[in-house]
Amino acid sequence: MGISIRVAEADDVGVLASLRRTWNEERLGGPIDAPDFDAAFSTWWEAERSSRTFFLVQAGGAAVGMANVKRYDRMPMAGGPSAGCWGYVGNVFVLAELRNAGIGQALMNEILAWAGRAGLAHLRLAPSPFSTSFYARLGFVPGAVVELDPERN
């Protein structure tokens, strides 16, 4: 199966929203009635696109996967060289019927190559229990990042 992977552009927002809806419906086990979702996704895209690079996977002319990388610029260091930047890989998704066919690996390999060209110091991500071994095969290792969900008032 021939696939292509490219950086998504503004004309791809509807396709990315459709993939995200498919992902949400898969996780919840059925169709979701959310008539405002496309508009909300488009608004989010506009707000995020200056600091996020979106990737789109196509096979046979159809969209079959996506991912994005959020860029974080490190705080400058007094008396030192540029602190550089790093990326957070998120929202990696391939249609269920095409998983385990090498598409996810090709997508991540493209992201890794892109990150090198973009000069990112490293990539981080938060794998689901289902995807931990997939990312380990790509060379991702557990790190020292810790988290806490603050209480909501």
Look at the block and give the residue holding tokens 């396709």: 15
Report the domain count for the chain.
1
Note if the pTM is more than 0.85: yes
Domain of residue 129, CATH code: 3.40.630.30
Distances (CA, A) of 64 to 16, 29, 56, 96, 121: 10, 19, 8, 9, 29
The answer to whether position 118 is within a domain reads yes
Q: What is the pLDDT of residues 3-15, one digit of tens each?
A: 999 999 999 999 9
- Which residue range forms the structural domain that includes residue 64? 3-137
pLDDT digits over 88-111, tens only? 999 999 999 999 999 999 999 999
Domain-embedded: residue 31: yes
